[in-house]
Structure 1
Amino acid sequence: METTGDDEGNKLKVKQGEPILVPPAEETPRVPYFLSNLDQNVAVIIKTVFCFKSKDEGNERAAKVIKDALAKVLVHYYPLAGRLAISVEGKLMVDCTGEGVLFVEAEADCNMADVGDIDKPESATLDKLIYIVRGAKNILEMPLLVVQLTKFRCGGFVLGVAMHHCMFDGIAAIEFAKSMSEIAQNLPLSIPPFLDRSILRSRTPPRVEFPHREFLEITDISDMATIYEHHPMVYRSFCFNLEKLDRLKRLAIEESFVSKCTSFEALSGFVWQARTRALGLRFEQQTKLLFAIDSRARFNPPLPGRYFGNGIFLANSLATAGELTKNSVGFAVKKVQEANRMVTDSYIRSAIDYFEMTRARPSLTGTLVLTTWSRLPFHTINFGWGEPLHYGPAALPEKELALFKSHGKERNSIVVTMGLPDSAMAIFEQLVEEI
């Protein structure tokens, strides 16, 4: 058994058992599994925690229920039981070895309420709820899915999940979790996943028909690298309730940049503008916004239902720091709307072909990346203990990332979680308070 702790006054102690491999419950195909170019561009690990506690049932059965459900769901999602490899084309693929996913059972020495604020990622507490694969030199040596189940004295438990983003986007992750929850409750699998990602192969020959500024390398004339190097990163979560969101939308239309906008568009424009101000970028500094949109319905024809893979696409917009800061938030909102409209079937396929020709990945210098969970029903996942009391990221995979998550009983507020150097975070907090 291994005890994890820290020296910063945090009293949570977690004893981790020996990790085990959970293979599929039945024999599965041993074949190479193709990953599309949309999968290639998100080769990062996503860490998430889910907190469960039932009024009627403790956590004694939790480990067996979750392990059994994992084994059975892997029959349908068999690529997850394999390992990443490099194809002859030099791209990521999955070697469907059937080895299984990694599962760790752990025990905490306190009640689940003592975990604290899980809306604040990158904390020493949350780190203890996610199993770290030791000795892995790179992502090729890590299982595609790692699950730690931590039991608490109160009868609750936390699922800490680490997954390769190249295997899931948020929608596919939700559908996997729902399939697993159906099996955990002895229900039939409602809809099997669509596994064939080759429908997103690049065209032959590749055709690049648009400029793809998502890959543009921006010159750092504001010395942002030094700001991040000499100031500690701090992470905060900001709740934007309906009243604040409505104020942002009114601000966006005041100077006639846009006639109407959604809460997502208004909030995206505000965060881009406020972050730029907080970092104190030079007026001539080029900045880039990337935001993930679900492109499943934008393909022609649309991607099949339950498509297992990354159907998200990073829409992009460029503006100088001066343009963002001297104009009202409506200017940034207009740029968000223009970027959203640009994403069509032909544009995405052009981007797929661009990667095929260049192997380029989106550059993050001078960039803000927005990803939204606010429309993803993570709160509905039920393995037999009811819906999660809380859920959220245990870490943000890139310092340039900001996460939008729904909040509140009616789920009509949005929590923005992000990191900034401490000097910039103080300014960003003030800008939020002024709304």
Structure 2
Amino acid sequence: MSTPAVRHVSECFVKPHHPTQLPGPNQICHLTHWDIAMLSIHYIQKGLLFKKPDQHDFIESLLDKLKHSLSLTLSHFYPLAGRFVTHKTQDPPSYALLVDCNNTDGAKFVYATLDMTISDILSPVHVPPIVHSFFDLHKAVNHDGHTMPLLPIQVTELVDGVFLGCSLNHAIADGTSYWNFFNTWSHIFQAQAQGNEYDVPVWHQPIHNPWFPNDCRPPINLPFKHHDEFVNRFEAPLLRERIFHFSAESIAKLKAKANSESNTTKISSFQSLSALVWRSITRARSLPYEQRTSCKLVANNRSRMEPPLAEEYFGNSIHSLSVETSAGELVENDLGWTAWKLHVTVANHNGGEVMQFLQEWLQSPFIFKLGRLFEPYCVVLGSSPRFNVYANEFGMGKAVAARSGYGNKFDGKVTSYPGHEGGGSIDLEVCLSPQNMSALESDEEFMSAVSKSNPFY
């Protein structure tokens, strides 16, 4: 029996409701070092699955309200309605990238349908591949923002649900900015339902003031003649994706165990969970004793800068922290030993380390390429359980689940979300080869920490 396909019914473009709020006479936004380095990475693709109310003409009304509230939201997040433009010179070769917020179509809005149910999406042990079709711009890289929208929204109507999927160009924003946009959109949508959408106080007004080191002035000129010199289109191997749920109680036990084994109280809950994941995936891979393996944590730089950047800073401000050891040493030591190594790395990450990276980048600019960014036997933990995922409501109550698209996935990628019930629980989306996933699912230490969850809530 063949799997039903997602059918695109309609699409349109949505512009900011108040275009007069755009900056400067040329309505140009500059990209920083953090942004530019992401040009060859995939779009961020995250979304929420809601139960569909049993109301007459509900979807037509929902689409109209989503478009109107999106237009109002884009007035605050105006770069998302723009496009990339490039200014090039041949002698000397330079390649400067900007965001043009003027004379663009705006954000793309797609309405699609799928003859499947919420149960069809959430019941399987592994995330069904059809979920990737809930997001527009499949396999697009950020540099494609020259000709493709920086923000495509796709609303997929299921038999009994609605999936709201958002693809956001990762060269213009990181996860913190992504969820600030999503939270603001939800807030304006709810105010719209109450009839006062035109006078909504935005809780976390985005700050559109790109940060550059003192000795650097935009635009940044890259030493390239053509984008073929740095754009790389990564194709993920065959992967299994699974959501593993960890209750607050289970995580508390891991934290207590890690701190006890390291004779400390400083190791955090997430560091303890990350240590478990790294050790367990390494065991599942059955690596030789001397094989090097690493665990990378994607950290938010905002609070670590000197002076700090506000959490509302719009753009990219992230850094990959790495801990490396041999597979044998990792597996033969205990959870506390691993968690302490992660803790020390996180504790030592500061503004000075960020500035050193930026200075080295300025001397020799490079663009991250997903296929070469991480070693074959690493584990990468991205996103954050601190993001306010389940506060987003669009007239359908609390979402029943969060899911992601194809973008930026590979063997060893782990994406973290807050657990649906809150209270410090965490959901991890783990991507592994089929063989390694089967081995992980048979790992006694790992599975004993995994908590059962009701997929239908």
Superposition TM-score, scaled by structure 1 size: 0.82
Q: Is the 8 A contact 2:48 2:402 kept in 1?
A: yes
Per the TM alignment, residue 246 of structure 1 is displaced from its structure 2 partner at its CA by: 3.2
1:64-75 equivalence runs, <5 A? 64-75=64-75
Question: Which one of 386, 409, 415 corresponds to residue 375 of structure 1?
Answer: 386
Cα RMSD for the two superposed structures: 2.9
Q: Distance in 2 between matches of 1:174 and 1:260?
A: 28
Q: Distance in 1 between matches of 2:175 and 2:139?
A: 26
Question: Which one of 350, 353, 364 corresponds to residue 359 of structure 2?
Answer: 353
Q: Distance in 1 between matches of 2:294 and 2:97?
A: 27
Name the CA shift for 1:255/1:381 in 2 (closer, same or farther; >3 Å): closer
Q: Is the 8 A contact 1:355 1:361 kept in 2?
A: no
Name the CA shift for 1:357/1:283 in 2 (closer, same or farther; >3 Å): farther
Q: Distance in 1 between matches of 2:427 and 2:96?
A: 36
Structure 2: any 5+ residue segments left out of the alignment? Answer: 89-93, 218-235, 450-457
Deviations 1:261-308 (A, max 9, x none): 221010111111222222222322222222122222211222135211
Matched, 1:300 2:306: yes
Question: Which one of 390, 394, 401 corresponds to residue 405 of structure 2?
Answer: 394
Matched, 1:237 2:235: no
What is the DSSP-based 3-state SS (H/G/I as helix, E as strand, rest coil) of the residue aligned with 1:68? helix
Matched, 1:31 2:58: no
Deviations 1:302-346 (A, max 9, x none): 213521112332222222223212211222111111111121111
Per the TM alignment, residue 41 of structure 1 is displaced from its structure 2 partner at its CA by: 3.5
Name the CA shift for 1:407/1:139 in 2 (closer, same or farther; >3 Å): same
Per the TM alignment, residue 244 of structure 1 is displaced from its structure 2 partner at its CA by: 2.9
Name the CA shift for 1:120/1:397 in 2 (closer, same or farther; >3 Å): farther
Aligned residue in 1 for 2:180: 175
1:297-336 equivalence runs, <5 A? 297-336=303-342
1:33-432 equivalence runs, <5 A? 33-42=29-38, 43-53=41-51, 58-86=58-86, 89-90=94-95, 92-97=97-102, 98-117=104-123, 120-121=126-127, 123-132=128-137, 138-154=144-160, 156-184=161-189, 185-186=191-192, 187=197, 188-191=200-203, 192-197=205-210, 200-204=211-215, 232-256=238-262, 258-360=264-366, 363-365=373-375, 366-395=377-406, 397-399=408-410, 400-431=412-443, 432=446
Per the TM alignment, residue 56 of structure 1 is displaced from its structure 2 partner at its CA by: 7.5
Deviations 1:228-258 (A, max 9, x none): 97xx422222222234323322432354364
Q: Distance in 2 between matches of 1:117 and 1:375?
A: 26
Aligned residue in 2 for 1:224: none
Deviates more, 1:419-428 or 1:125-134: 125-134
Deviations 1:139-176 (A, max 9, x none): 5432111111123444x422121111222222211221
Name the CA shift for 1:256/1:296 in 2 (closer, same or farther; >3 Å): same
Q: Is the 8 A contact 1:290 1:367 kept in 2?
A: yes
Aligned residue in 2 for 1:22: 14
Per the TM alignment, residue 129 of structure 1 is displaced from its structure 2 partner at its CA by: 2.0
Q: Distance in 1 between matches of 2:273 and 2:49?
A: 28
Per the TM alignment, residue 120 of structure 1 is displaced from its structure 2 partner at its CA by: 4.7
Deviates more, 1:169-178 or 1:26-35: 26-35
Q: Distance in 2 between matches of 1:75 and 1:118?
A: 40
Q: Distance in 2 between matches of 1:117 and 1:356?
A: 48
Deviations 1:58-98 (A, max 9, x none): 33311111111222222221111111244555364322233
Tell me the matched-pair count. Answer: 400
Matched, 1:9 2:2: yes
Per the TM alignment, residue 118 of structure 1 is displaced from its structure 2 partner at its CA by: 8.9
Q: Distance in 2 between matches of 1:63 and 1:85?
A: 31
Deviations 1:164-209 (A, max 9, x none): 1222222211221222223323331424321111xx2134279xxx
What is the DSSP-based 3-state SS (H/G/I as helix, E as strand, rest coil) of the residue aligned with 1:284? coil
Structure 1: any 5+ residue segments left out of the alignment? Answer: 1-7, 207-227
In structure 1, give the amino acid aligned to 2:172.
M
What is the DSSP-based 3-state SS (H/G/I as helix, E as strand, rest coil) of the residue aligned with 2:130? helix
Name the CA shift for 1:18/1:411 in 2 (closer, same or farther; >3 Å): same
Q: Is the 8 A contact 1:203 1:353 kept in 2?
A: no
